[in-house]
Amino acid sequence: MKAALIVGLGGFAGSISRYLVQTALVNRFITIFPLGTFSINLLGSLIIGLVFGLAERYSWLTQEWRLFLAIGFCGSFTTFSTFAFDNLQMIRDGNFWQLLGYIALSVILSLGLAAAGYFLARP
């Protein structure tokens, strides 16, 4: 139960941060490119990489902080960060065919399912 609360608090912080960053970028830069989402995905990927890199390098980043930052904060700030880290682990482990399949299937199926959901839901 303690772990779930820690993740939930991180999720709260991540979702509020996502809203604030997205709003600031959309209000500052007028573009048809989804700059807010793009920037959040990149920043979230950097943060989750830093969290896991620091966790491997130093012992002061406790399991609770990893739950808060990686699963809670990054998970609600962007799910793309977790996708990026999963890919990084496959690269590190030398699973290149699995990596290519995971990337291709994730992008193609996610886009396809988003389109399916959109077309099913519209009048």
Domain extents for the chain? Answer: 2-78
Greater model confidence, 65 or 121: 65
* Residues contacting 98, CB < 8 A, separation 6+: 90
- The reported pLDDT for the residue numbered 2 is 95
Examine the pLDDT at 35 and tell me if it is beyond 80: yes
Examine the pLDDT at 123 and tell me if it is beyond 70: no
Please give the model's pTM, rounded to 2 decimal places: 0.76
Alpha-carbon distance 24 to 53, whole Å? 29
Q: How confident is the model at residue 113 (pLDDT cuts 50, 70, 90)?
A: confident
Examine the pLDDT at 33 and tell me if it is beyond 80: no
